[in-house]
A and B are shown apart, each in its own frame.
Chain A
Amino acid sequence: MNEQLISKIKIPSSGRHLEDVRNFIEKSSRECGLDESQIYDLKVAAGEACANAIEHGSPDDEKNFVEVEFFCGDNGVYVTVKDEGKFKRQAMEYDADGLHHRGRGMAFMLALMDEVSVQGTDNGTVVKLHKKL
């Protein structure tokens, strides 16, 4: 992995802290030279990953934490979002029938990023977002 860690943030698992994640992504993105449109895409994708982590990956609610890391490399930027819960496939799937207005988070990540991977471990779930520059 030739990407360099630019910065990281750890937030309590609460929606109130989503604005901290957006500020973090914006600041880190500017350090890596992303343009406004790329920054916006990354803020939305990382926000969706964090919202999933808060809603589904935090068995003890605000006692849990969500960690976000920002990497920059020749191939673009990478953002990892790590929670402390068990990955639930259902929570990440796109609700294609349109009857419910939740669960579009994964669809947004896939549409806005060049690559999205989800890895479940014993200690939590890691979502990795890749945006080419």
Chain B
Amino acid sequence: MLQRYNGLVNKKFSYKIVFFGKEKQMIINIAGDDFPIIEIEGEIDHYYAPQLESFVLSTIKNSPDKSIIIDLSSVSYLDSAGVGVLFSAVDLIKKSSPGKSIVTICPNKNVEKILKLVGIQTEPVFVLTEEKEKAISLTKGK
């Protein structure tokens, strides 16, 4: 999936984690160099959220003073637990990387509606965009 970022960013590291559900699965792709990109595929619900949270928070901790991109382009479902993961990421980046941002790519209107329902877009460190290129230029500027 992260092949879509080829030519757009340097990828010093890249790995993939698969969490199996009952029949479906959630895949997390992490890559980056100047800043981490976390790309998620699948449905983020109460079952998967704790596992995702652990990886998102450890990525932020391991990338001090860097903004991060969370790509939800391949996420078809997000519930309150998934939003909770993003709020935890916002809290952590405020503490561990002052002045840096969580840049979230979300072209899916249904998922965007869920995000906006709780007002996460009003957090100054949370930047919401529909496009990868825009997310990268925003992150490089942070």
Contacts and interface: CB of A to CB of B under 8 A. Distances in A.
Contacts of B117: 107-108, 111-112
B22 A51 contact: no
Interface residues of B, number: 22
B32 interface: no
A51 B79 contact: yes
A89 interface: no
Contacts, number: 65
Given A15-B45, A19-B43, A22-B43, A108 B80 contact: yes
B46 A18 contact: yes
A19 B43 CA distance: 9
Contact of B22 (A20, A47, A54): A20
A22 B80 CA distance: 15
Interface string A13-56: 00111111010000000000000110010011001100100110
- By size class, the interface of chain A is 20 to 34
Nearest to B117: A111
Contacts of A104: 80, 83-84, 118
Interface string B32-67: 000000000001011100000000000000000000
Interface of B: 21-24, 43, 45-47, 77, 79-81, 83-85, 87-88, 110, 113-114, 117-118
4 closest A-B pairs (Cβ-Cβ)? Answer: A15-B47, A101-B84, A104-B80, A51-B46
